[in-house]
Structure 1
């Protein structure tokens, strides 16, 4: 009786490992594709396409266009900074290409927090505000959209 594995046994095990690796890679690729598809369907464009296919007459979505972040200072002064988004113009154009027409846009500032502290070397208070500017986009279905 020989010690160890034969060359045929080693080759069969190598082929089995390779097959298992290919199967795992295929499962991982399928899971990644499913995650990408779910993210697309949750995006404004994916939702717009679904609403259009459903025959809806209107489509609305909300997007954060800017955020205000505050940094309180030890002297009671405010240190607010604003971060602007890219405006989403290409996203709006893609939604219109589906067959929607941008009917109305509105913006609102949603405050998420504020801190006021007394100033140390001056009178009054310093206030730091935090929040975001939300844009509400309302689209109307266009009858002559591309297929």
Structure 2
């Protein structure tokens, strides 16, 4: 889930779009981070830090009168660290970046 300031901003965008009568809403935010540290042996130690609260946030958007229509995700690399391996050839690589989620909502029909 986005941090509280970003979540508030995104929820306000959803409220404003609903008030204007928009039929579609598109939101994007980080859903995971890839990080790690190089080791003295030259190997890579990557870790994926997932956000287990994305569903809760998406539910909050739906409470405002939107229905999730489509999602997609992309990895955005922010850098990498390499180190030479002690025993053998080659290098260990540690990537850094985030998984960005793209969420498209359709205005729910009002009964």
Shorter-chain TM-score bucket reads 0.7 to 0.9
Q: Which residue of 2 aligns with 1:9?
A: none
Judged with a 3 Å threshold, the aligned counterparts in structure 2 of structure 1 residues 109 and 120 are, in CA distance, closer, same or farther, namely same
State the partner residue of 1:101.
67
Please tell me whether Structure 1 or Structure 2 has the larger radius of gyration of its CA atoms. Answer: 1
* Match runs of 1:71-90 below 5 Å: 71-90=37-56
TM-score (normalizing by structure 2): 0.85
TM-score (norm 1): 0.66
Q: Shift of the alpha carbon at 1:78? A: 0.8
**Which structure exhibits the higher relative contact order, with contacts defined as CA atoms closer than 8 Å and separated by 6 or more residues?**
2
The counterpart of 2:104, out of the listed 138, 141, 146, is: 138
More strand by percentage: 2
Aligned to 1:70: 36
Structure 2: state its 5+ residue gaps: none
Counterpart for residue 26 of structure 2: 60
Q: What does the per-residue CA deviation read over 1:15-72, in whole Å, with 9 as the maximum and x for residues that have no partner? A: xxxxxxxxxxxxxxxxxxxxxxxx4885222210111001111111112111011201
Structure with the larger helix share: 1
- RMSD (Å), alpha carbons: 1.9
